[in-house]
Amino acid sequence: MKSLWNPQDAAQYTTDLDLRVYTSRLLGSDPSLVLHGGGNTSVKVSETNLVGETEELLYVKGSGWDLATIEAPGFAPVRMAHLLKLAKLEQLSDPQMVNELKTQMTLASAPSPSVETILHATLPYKYVDHTHADAVVTVTNTPSGRERIEEIYGDRVVIIPYVMPGFDLARVCAAQFAAEAHAGTVGMVLMNHGIFSFGATAQESYELMIELVGLAEAYIEKHQARVSFADIEPSTTSIRQDLAQLRWDVSQAAGQPMIVQSDRTPKTLGYIQREDLAAIAQQGPATPDHVIRTKRIPLIGRDVNAYTRDYQKYFAAHASEAQTMLDPAPRVVLDPELGLCSIGKNAKAAQIVADIYDHTIDVITTATNLESYQALPQTDLFEVEYWDLEQAKLRKGGKAPMFTGEIALVTGAASGIGKACVDELLKQGAAVVGLDINPAITTLYKRLDFLGIPCDVTDDAALVEALEQAVQHFGGLDMLVLNAGIFPGGCAIASLDTDTWRKVMAINLDANLVLMREAHPLLKLAPKGGRVVVIGSKNVPAPGPGAAAYSASKAALNQLMRVAALEWGKDNIRINSVHPNGVFDTALWTDEVLASRAAHYGLSVQDYKTNNLLKVEVTSKAVAELTAQMCGPLFAQTTAAQVPIDGGNDRVV
């Protein structure tokens, strides 16, 4: 563990709060210290209010902010005087505490203060840092964890037995720290939870955190407790069908579509293949904070129904009438073939689960080598999972985007209508896989809910491999948008060569047949039913001279869509076509081409672009919006439909 403090960088931060931001980001940059919103930092400052009074304020990390990216607005200013009075109360429910914290903020637009705000206020230091350092958590999650912590730190830290986060923890810490702290105290360890450091300056507090965690790491190294995982190679056998089935089972248990990510690295496979997996993995997570994301235990194997039954019994045995059961679906599945499957309501949530459990593997295996892994009792884990503050969040809820938890695949996704479809589906909450022959598809977006795969759609094997990647990345397939196609230069039938004809058919028709065939088993397992949208053309109902290959390929694709509707309805898969025309905001229509075609018809460019009955310009975005709606509830009772989006074409009407 090395300090990242840089005097030159630190010199750019002039205020106490700015320095708090700087060192918070240093902590947040190391996932072995802070992971996905975990940890808390604070600073105490004096400020003059609007009426000229000097107030002591605690700036503490606000809810929803991550230390890795936090900025000054991410800290909530709370009046210290009231916090210290609250700390002296005998009782205070956590909902009451949250209300009190909000009423004592000096900035209404600031985020809600951390539930550990009172704890930070009671520690008599200007800067306070709190992390869930893997090394410290590892040591505390052993049967003799307290003795080991004493061996590592001596009397330099105050050791607090596990207490659930919130007011009770703040009260215990305040009393015990006041009784045990001395001039040489530099930190505080919360058993099964994490570690605190503090100081008069941001640098002092930060570097003490690095030193204290470094001592725990050195202790682990001294006892040679780190696990090196064997170089296990995953099987090359396809897992997409089994993974899609698991996702279907999990989604049924959760009552909504879920994203499932598969990780089959040597580390995860080595962990899953341990003979003692059941004993070490089903005790509980490394820290209570993680139970909210990952649930108390993972599912080993694929029997989701058995897991949900056990979860329901677990809830019934512990819950009060006031508590509402969370969905009983697992968030982590450990399977020797499917690997570590991380589950979430969207791609970000699934990735957070994956990251947390990756660190959990390190903690569990290292603690096992050090002595044995010992998580908190199940009753403590239940209290965190069904914390009244978490229950309040559930009740508050909020409307999710239309395709939350669902997965769409779009062909020809790097530009034009395909890219617009990607944008719209992402906007509506879907995780999207984009295929395109253009390698730029891999960098189209850098976000967790998008996967770009370079793919020649005329290569059957490449399509199959793309589906395999898509399912391993997100868990299944709900929506398929068949957009990839080519429009060759105008050519009369008398001059149309066979190679051109076959190329157009291969891309516009044959590739779609292969993709539909291979995607069908996956679409059958879509939790809300599979949906396919074909991007057709005005040339289907109204072909034009010189476009024989294109018109025939699109007409044949449209007929394929109709047959699929007849065959797939029993599988709860609906398939429809949209027929755009005059979509000029694509790469094909350069300014020069537009000017040339407009001149050919004796029109201005604008009149040419709106040369339809409604005199409107048809855009890629408009086509994409219709495509998304055809996958949504508005078209839930519709299949085999052909919907024009052309502003009204006199040859079609």
Catalytic site positions: 550
Q: Which two tokens stand for residue 562?
A: 């109709």
Q: Write the burial class of residue 247 (CB in 10 Å: 0-12 exposed, 13-18 middle, 19+ buried).
A: buried
| Cα→Cα distances 451→181, 260, 334, 376, Å | 52, 14, 24, 38
> Of 353, 219, 217, 381, which Cα lies nearest the Cα of 296?
381
DSSP 37-78: T--EEEEEEEEE-TTS-EEEEEEEEBTT--TTT--GGGEEEE
What is d(CA 261, CA 41) in angstroms, rounded to the nearest whole number?
32
Between CA 151 and CA 157 the distance in angstroms is: 11
Q: How far apart are CA 435 and CA 411, in angstroms?
A: 5
Question: How far apart are alpha carbons 377 and 640 in whole angstroms?
Answer: 56
| Residue 266 vs residues 331, 354, 465, 513: alpha-carbon distances, Å | 21, 15, 21, 36
Structure tokens at 228: 């090196």
Q: 600 burial class (0-12, 13-18, 19+ CB within 10 angstroms)?
A: exposed
Burial class (CB in 10 A: 0-12, 13-18, 19+), 229: middle
Neighbours of 417 (CB within 10 A): 26
Using the structure block, give the residue that is written with the tokens 């020649």.
456
The residues near 175 (Cβ < 8 Å, ≥ 6 apart) are none
Are 88 and 70 spatial neighbours (Cβ–Cβ below 8 Å)? no
DSSP code of 2? -
